[in-house]
């Protein structure tokens, strides 16, 4: 018996919202009722788009390119939102294949409001945040790298719409710095101002920002649901071990810990320039060894393999 094909849906770009200097949130509207589907918090779709990209010989090649993105909007809403971040510089040529292999920079340039895209969706056997979607877990301590907050945004919109006070979310959000390295007047943290607004609006949401490479910016909030810190989670300012979950959440036993980001952020795995894999330490190990979190209280969604620079 042949495997059933993944269904294809048609969406139209309704809006494009700049998040940071290198990321945008696209608002999509399904073209018809048949282009809608039900999904849960934490799921993803794959965009199919024909893109024109340069080659090492100076030519241009047009080809269909696919990229998977977590859904950044709540299943309770009519429009679907995806946040797309530039993963490779415009014009970058992959030396192995002799042509550009990036997606975001060319999608930003070539797809406008009103254009249509094809989208693939199929539900995984155990989607990210499936324990939340099934109602098993409602006390969430979400650990996000700089590229991992899309599902947290989806969850926050869901909380805003459902008004279920039994749901509690503490977002632990790690970024290198607050401002863009290229333009220090521009915030480089996705959803930053929106997260501040939501923390002030929702009594059951708290956000903890940490900046791992920013020694210049000093931030403070007197709001009880907005916190700032510096350095890696689970290390205090003096470099000593810190029980970050206990400190900012308060209940290690009840907290369910989704972790979303790169391999280095999740479990310390980084690919070296030599091609070998270095296995270090990430949030997952710290949660279990420092906080005493049980494995069944952890979920993870890895976006990419970290490569040593």
Q: Identify the pLDDT of residue 35.
A: 98
pLDDT at residue 104 is higher than 80:
yes
3-class DSSP state of 14: strand
Q: What is the dihedral of CA 152, 157, 162, 163, to 10 degrees?
A: 90
| 150-162 helix and 192-201 helix, angle to the nearest 10 degrees | 30
Give the tens place of pLDDT for each residue, 213-229: 987 778 999 999 999 99
pTM of the complete model = 0.93
For residue 281, CA distances in Å to 141, 266, 284, 304 come to 19, 8, 8, 16
Q: What percent of the chain has pLDDT over 90?
A: 85
Partners of residue 172 on adjacent β-strands: 143, 208
Give the tens place of pLDDT for each residue, 158-215: 999 999 999 999 999 999 999 987 777 889 999 999 999 999 999 999 999 999 998 7
Q: Identify the pLDDT of residue 184.
A: 75
CATH 3.40.50.80 in the chain: give the residue spans.
Answer: 130-307
CATH 2.40.30.10 in the chain: give the residue spans.
Answer: 8-120
Q: Identify the pLDDT of residue 1.
A: 36
Multiple choice CATH, 8-120, 3.10.20.30, 3.90.180.10, 3.30.360.10, 2.40.30.10: 2.40.30.10
Multiple choice CATH, 130-307, 3.30.1300.10, 3.40.50.80, 3.40.190.10, 3.40.50.720: 3.40.50.80
Cβ neighbours around 63 below 10 Å, total: 10
Give the tens place of pLDDT for each residue, 60-70: 999 999 999 99
Q: Identify the pLDDT of residue 6.
A: 85
Partners of residue 28 on adjacent β-strands: 13, 80
Give the tens place of pLDDT for each residue, 22-41: 999 999 999 999 999 999 99
pLDDT at residue 50 is higher than 80:
yes
The angle subtended at Cα 45 by Cα 43 and Cα 47, nearest 5°, is 160
> Of 163-172, 177-186, 252-261, 276-285, which range is least confident?
177-186
């Amino acid at each position: 018996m042949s495997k059933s094909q993944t269904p294809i849906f048609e969406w139209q770009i309704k809006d494009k919202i700049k998040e940071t200097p290198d990321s945008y949130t696209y608002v999509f509207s399904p073209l018809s009722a048949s282009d809608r589907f039900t999904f849960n918090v934490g799921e993803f779709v794959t965009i199919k788009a024909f893109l024109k990209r340069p080659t090492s010989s100076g030519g241009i090649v047009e080809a269909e390119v696919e990229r998977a993105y977590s859904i950044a909007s709540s299943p309770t809403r009519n429009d679907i939102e995806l946040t797309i971040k530039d993963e490779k510089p415009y014009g970058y040529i992959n030396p192995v294949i002799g042509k550009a292999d990036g997606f975001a920079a060319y999608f930003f340039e070539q797809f406008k409001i009103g254009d249509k895209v094809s989208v693939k969706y199929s539900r995984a056997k155990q989607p990210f945040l499936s324990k939340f979607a099934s109602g098993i877990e409602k006390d969430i301590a979400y650990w996000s790298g700089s590229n991992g907050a899309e599902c947290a945004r989806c969850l926050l919109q869901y909380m805003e719409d459902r008004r279920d006070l039994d749901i509690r979310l503490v977002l632990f959000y790690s970024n290198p710095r607050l401002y863009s390295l290229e333009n220090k007047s521009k915030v480089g943290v996705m959803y930053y101002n929106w997260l501040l607004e939501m923390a002030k609006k929702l009594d059951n949401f708290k956000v903890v920002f940490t900046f791992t490479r920013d020694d210049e910016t000093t931030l403070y909030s007197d709001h009880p649901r907005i916190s700032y810190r510096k350095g890696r989670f689970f290390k205090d300012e003096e470099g000593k071990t810190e029980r970050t979950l206990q400190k900012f959440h308060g209940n290690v036993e009840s907290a369910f810990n989704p972790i979303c980001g790169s391999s280095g952020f999740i479990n310390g795995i980084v690919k070296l320039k030599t091609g070998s894999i270095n296995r270090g330490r990430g949030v997952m190990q710290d949660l279990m060894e420092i906080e005493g979190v049980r494995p069944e209280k952890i979920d993870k969604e890895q976006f990419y393999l970290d490569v040593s620079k």
